[in-house]
Amino acid sequence: MYKNNKDFLWGGATSACQIEGGYDIGGKSLTISEMRPFNPKLNRKNLSEVFAYNKQDYIDSIKNDKGLHYPKRYGINFYNNYKEDIALFKESGMNVFRLSISWARFFPKGDEENPCKEAIEFYKNVFTECHKNSIEPVVTIEHSDLPYSIIEKYNGWLNPVTIKLFMKLVKVLFKEFNQYVKYWMPFNEINTVLMAPDSGAGIFREDFKNEHEYLQASYQSLHHKFIAQAEVVKLAHSDYKNIHIGCMVANISTYPIDCNPINVLENEKYQQLMKYFFFDVMAKGFYPTYMLKYFKNNSIVLDISDYDLNLLKENTVDFISFSYYSSGTMGQKNEEVNSSNLVLLGKNPFLKETEWGWQIDPIGLRITLNDLWNRYNLPLFISENGIGVLEELNSDETVDDYYRIDYLKSHIKQLLLAIEDGVDLFGYTMWTPIDVVSASTNEMSKRYGMIYVDYDDYHKGTGKRYKKSSFHWFKNFRKTGKL
Ligand code: BG6
């Protein structure tokens, strides 16, 4: 079926702070992600270590008098290399490239009158280059890179003023780029506000009296992001009929550890809190009753106006998007915990895991697609899916990444089966077409790409690009339709 569908989008995804570099070009200010250093001693499997930053670490990073290395300030130098990279994407057979823009390039302080011209010019060039190469750009507006200036001055997303600052940015983006970009996602993985409130919302534990206040502030910040998301939909639907707005959620997939109804129920509750809640608000347009109950039971009081409730109701998304990497288990007697993307989950004895402890579950992707399609009946787009591995260039300047081919092949097979099941899926972007700096561990060593980039964890190297085996495999898949 997909072979006949010429419009299906096949490609790769990245984010600004993981690829661009040029952190101070054109007046750009620092974003929260660019203030996290590389830590060579980090235990990769220990999520609490991975996310252990405190406010002072961020403040210290501005002066950087400890001489630490901040990888996301350098990325893979896409800022200067985008033409070559996009040409390689085309050669691989990609017809879609999901990327994000950097808010701090447009409004370094967040509240300036006018945007920086360099930012407009840079992204116009990138989008033009995509179209020249027959690649559809799909754009995320905020991907873990809130400008620090907005955090410092306004307390990030906790302050409703940030909605206004964000909409100022969005107005510029739509005005300048609506002819270039059809598909937009206001936020990457909106649920990360709760898992990593520092980068997701721009708030810090140290600023709150206790865990309860911190949690309440996280939900309030999330509410402001929901409102911003709905305002974007409203603007697009009223003034830009040619563009489509999607939500993007980190799909936290879990199975009950066994068929004991207690565990099944626990899993269901977990899925509501960690996954369905976010899709429900943005796709159905209201706070589900299970969340209202949760807030009540946990004494969480949010400032939500009638205007907000109406806005959410009237402005639901055009499509649903999500990242999918792994799955885990939930339930009692679940002794072995395993790290997956963003959360700690139980082990599943039927699955293998990556070096970072993420369990590989292609069938889970088919289950997820069926579940989301039948729950929301909105077109679906897989925004991220891929495998991070330690890799080195062989002496013949290749990387034989058969494991990545296996990973991608098995997931694509399942998404094709989901389409046969009747799911309306219109695109798939692997994470990533090219090696990038890791989001969680700030290292270059955790490589996801079909294209190898010669930089190490300290941004040392030639920066040259090399095609891995997966590049040739994907190219053949796009040409022949054969997996
Ligand atoms: C997703 C993020 O959660 O996971 C990406 O949207 C990120 O930005 C990806 O890179 C993989 O995570 P990591 O930590 O391995 O880079």
Q: Which domain holds residue 366?
A: 2-480
* DSSP SS3 for 127: helix
Find the Cα–Cα–Cα–Cα dihedral 170, 171, 173, 179, rounded to 10°: 130
What is residue 335's predicted lDDT score, i.e. its pLDDT?
63
How many residues belong to the chain?
483
Do 474 and 95 contact (CB within 8 A), yes or no? no
Tally of domains within the chain? 1
Please state, rounded to an integer, the average pLDDT across all residues of the chain.
Answer: 95
Query: For the domain that residue 51 is a member of, what is the CATH number?
Result: 3.20.20.80
pLDDT-based confidence at residue 340 (cuts at 50, 70, 90): low
> Left (φ > 0), alpha (ψ -120 to 50) or beta: where does 377 sit?
left
Cα separation, 472 vs 95, in Å, equals 16
Cα separation, 389 vs 369, in Å, equals 26
| Cα of 439 from ligand 1 centre, angstroms | 5
Q: Is 314 a catalytic residue?
A: no
Residue nearest to atom 11 of ligand 1 (CA): 439
Q: For Cα atoms 21, 23, 24, give the angle at the middle one, nearest 5 degrees.
A: 140
Task: Please choose from 44, 431, 441, 443 the residue to mutate so as to test ligand 1's pocket, defined by most ligand atoms within 8 A of CB.
Answer: 431
Q: pLDDT tens, 259-313? A: 999 999 999 999 999 999 999 999 999 999 999 999 999 999 999 999 999 999 9
Q: Nearest CA to 317 among 397, 237, 375, 260?
A: 237
| Cα of 99 from ligand 1 centre, angstroms | 13
Q: For Cα atoms 43, 49, 55, give the angle at the middle one, nearest 5 degrees.
A: 140
Q: Nearest CA to 231 among 112, 106, 141?
A: 141
ipTM reported for the complex, 2 dp: 0.99
C-alpha distances (whole Å) from 173 to each of 16, 102, 139, 232 are 15, 11, 10, 11
Q: pLDDT tens, 154-203? A: 999 999 999 999 999 999 999 999 999 999 999 999 999 999 999 999 99
Q: Which residues of 284-298 are buried (b: 16+ CB within 10 A; e: fewer)?
A: bbebeeebeebbeee
Q: Nearest CA to 86 among 126, 35, 41?
A: 126
Q: Is the pLDDT of residue 3 over 60?
A: no
Global confidence as pTM: 0.96
